[in-house]
Amino acid sequence: MIRTLISLLIALCAFAAHAAVDVNKASQAELETIKGIGPSMSGRMLDERKKGAYKDWPDMVARVKGVGEGNASRFSADGLTVNGSAYKDVAVASSKPTGRTVGSEKKSPTDAAADAAAQKK
């Protein structure tokens, strides 16, 4: 009986620790329960929230210094939400040029030597 009560209490605490924290409703103390959010970050979040509620994750990422896509993903995985929504990783890689052009790959010294020898012929 005692074991059952203790295990139930532990399970309840574990569930409460992973409960969602909405950035538009949370206090500073509640925000700081999210791993990676300390007093400084929670203060910046609350300062920006005073200017107006966050519409969505991209709005929060754009407005809060120090919250990029990586932190947003980690905060969301640890229970932070914006208007009840978890962070959805936006595929920005497809919109950014890679900077590589066709034929610009680096060649090994042996390949470069072989190409130079072939050009001499």
Question: Backbone phi, then psi, for 66, in 5-degree steps?
Answer: 95, -5
Which pLDDT score, from 0 to 100, does residue 3 have?
A: 75
* Residues listed for the chain: 121
Which parts of 18-96 fold into alpha helices (H)?
Answer: 28-31, 39-51, 57-63, 69-77
Q: What is the mean pLDDT of residues 51-69?
A: 95
66: left (phi over 0), alpha (psi -120 to 50) or beta: left
Under the banding of pLDDT at 50, 70 and 90, the label for residue 46 is very high
For 2-13, write each residue's pLDDT tens digit.
Answer: 777 566 556 555
Q: What is the mean pLDDT of residues 78-94?
A: 76
Q: What is the mean pLDDT of residues 97-109?
A: 53
Most confident of 41-55, 87-101, 102-116: 41-55
Q: How far apart are CA 33 and CA 89, in angstroms?
A: 22
Which pLDDT score, from 0 to 100, does residue 108 have?
A: 58
Three-state DSSP state, 99: coil
Which pLDDT score, from 0 to 100, does residue 92 have?
A: 40
On the 0-12 / 13-18 / 19+ scale of CB atoms within 10 A, 117 is exposed
* Residue 73 DSSP label: H
Which pLDDT score, from 0 to 100, does residue 113 have?
A: 66
Q: How far apart are CA 105 and CA 21, in angstroms?
A: 47
